[in-house]
Amino acid sequence: MTGISLATPAGAPVEISPEVVDKLKRELRGALLTPADPGYDDARSVWNAMIDRRPALIVRCAGAADVLAAVRFARDYGLLLAVKGGGHNIAGSAVCDGGLMLDLSLMRSVHVDPWNRTARVEPGAILADLDREAQAFGLATSLGINSTTGVAGLTLGGGFGWLSRSFGHTIDNLLAVDVVTAAGQLVRASAEENADLFWGLRGGGGNLGIVTSFTLQLHPLGPTVLAGLIVYPFSEAPELLRRYRTFVAAAPDALTVWTVLRKAPPLPFLPPDVHGKEVVVFALLYAGDVTEGERAIAPLRAFATPVGEHVGPLPFCAWQAAFDPLLTPGARNYWKSHDFAELSDAAIDLMVDYARKLPSPECEIFIAHLDGAAGRVASEATAFPHRDATFVLNVHGRWRNADDDDGCIGWARRFFAATAPHATGGVYVNFMTDDEQDRVRAAYGANYDRLAALKAKYDPDNLFQVNLNVKPAV
């Protein structure tokens, strides 16, 4: 039986004998897959259908012991190594061609301690897993906006969503991690143990190790919250965005309102003549008393005459999953993103102009309003530095047919270039695509050199490089 050829970062493949591969397989509690095995294609798939890579071997990890064995194997043979968590991966760095892929998606355990208000979460868990367990006790933490997003990738990149204004970003609620380092050791990192590593893992992506357990702080919330959508005609867009800018500047931390410019999906509360037409959507959540929330959003309802509204008390878990139908796996996706300290008139006009040119029915422009609790953390407190980002713009290109790649990607890039003069220059690493390696320094700003020094300490040979890579400091 011939050996298996695996890719290395240097490019020259390495041949590994069947006996060595079989030895690794016997060490695992999970599965070791080759391209010929059932389940291989499912294991290598990620949310973004533009990513179609074929690892030579996939380790489907069942626990930390499997992660340790796989990392040591990759280190000892100098293999190209990719790591998949929940699989909601825009950049595609969860998968590599020809190398070894660690699939953590089976590690989905969530254990909630309601007395200490903490949750211990494995790296394959998605937001829905954590929300469901925490909400059983009327608790939640700051996560994202789509229930199928992986907790691990979200957290390691910083993590923001509906509760960031109330409780800070996900990393601001991270208490400790168990992490497998490039040396093949499992260590604990927190404010008290390996504090430098803990600093780097809060925003540094997958550059410093593979986290096998996250301990997160939980907060009382729900289970019922005030949330929903107010949809306005696109003809009012310039004035609506200017009013929005003024309104959110005075909003309480408990209120989060994001704006989406897109073609209206066929939602039941929208009249049929609006379906497929450009609209302005205000998506909101109030993390507090529902009656107080109704008072807080009253001015938002008076901006103009809406074409439809669906706002009211609903379960927090339902709101976290509200956008899932618009973000299902299998579509082609390409994103570009900017941070803004403020929305200037010129930036707003560009957003409206490019929303008139949406190249597919699923493309959208969304503007996330942050600040609040997340903005009151010092920029040097975590590897994630962008505490001055009052707004985050995501240019979300999404389509189905590969023939539309050039048109949709070109639209996103042109919009990105046009709005760049009005942005801070910073960028959220979780919104970056694989062709943006030149923006990695911008993702970390003044924290980049410290992160590169940590990389040299914990991963001097850059084993963890299939990512938006921070290279070890020389």
Q: What is the pLDDT of residue 393?
A: 97
Residue 173 — pLDDT band, cuts 50, 70, 90? very high
**Confidence band for 89, pLDDT divided at 50, 70 and 90:** confident
Cβ contact 386:426 at 8 Å: yes
Residue 375 DSSP symbol: G
Class of residue 218 by CB neighbours under 10 A (exposed 0-12, middle 13-18, buried 19+): buried
Each residue's pLDDT tens digit, 262-300 = 999 999 999 999 999 999 999 999 999 999 999 999 999
Dihedral angle computed from the Cα positions of residues 272, 273, 275 and 280, in that order, rounded to the nearest 10 degrees: -120
- Return the SS3 of 152: helix
Place of tokens 């509360």: 269
Helices and strands counted in the chain (H then E): 14, 20
The pLDDT confidence band at residue 88, using thresholds 50, 70 and 90, is confident
Contact 149, 88 (CB under 8 A): yes
pLDDT over 70 at 1, yes or no: no
Q: For residue range 399-439, what is the model confidence (pLDDT) as tens digits? A: 999 999 999 999 999 999 999 999 999 999 999 999 999 99
All domains of the chain in start order, with CATH: 4-103 (3.30.43.10), 110-220+446-458 (3.30.465.10), 224-437 (3.40.462.20)
Residues 132, 158: Cα–Cα separation, whole Å: 22
Give the 3-state secondary structure of residue 15: strand
Give yes or no for a contact between 425 and 337, defined as CB atoms under 8 angstroms apart.
no
Residue 375 has pLDDT above 70, yes or no: yes
- Give me the mean pLDDT over the 319-345 stretch: 96
Alpha-carbon gap, residue 238 to 243, rounded angstroms: 9
**Mean pLDDT of the chain, nearest integer:** 97
Q: What percent of the chain has pLDDT over 90?
A: 98
DSSP letter string over 395-448? EEEEES-GGGHHHHHHHHHHHHHHHGGGS-S---GGG--TT-GGGHHHHHGGGH
Q: What pLDDT does residue 11 have?
A: 84
Using pLDDT thresholds of 50, 70 and 90, give the confidence band for residue 77.
very high
Between the alpha carbon of residue 294 and those of residues 270, 287, 290, 300, 427, the distances in Å are 21, 12, 6, 10, 33
pLDDT at 343 (0 to 100): 97
pLDDT of 252 = 97
| pLDDT given for residue 3 in this prediction | 81
Extract the tokens encoding 10: 């240097």
Share of the chain above pLDDT 70, in %: 100
Cα 324 from Cα 229, distance rounded (Å): 15
What is the model's pLDDT at position 267? 94
**Are residues 82 and 43 in contact, defined by beta-carbon separation less than 8 angstroms?**
no
Closest CA to 48 of 465, 351, 303, 402: 402
pLDDT tens, residue by residue, 38-75 = 999 999 999 999 999 999 999 999 999 999 999 999 99
Asked if residue 391 lies in contact with residue 369, where contact means CB atoms within 8 angstroms, the answer is: yes
User: What average pLDDT does the segment 448-472 reach?
Assistant: 98
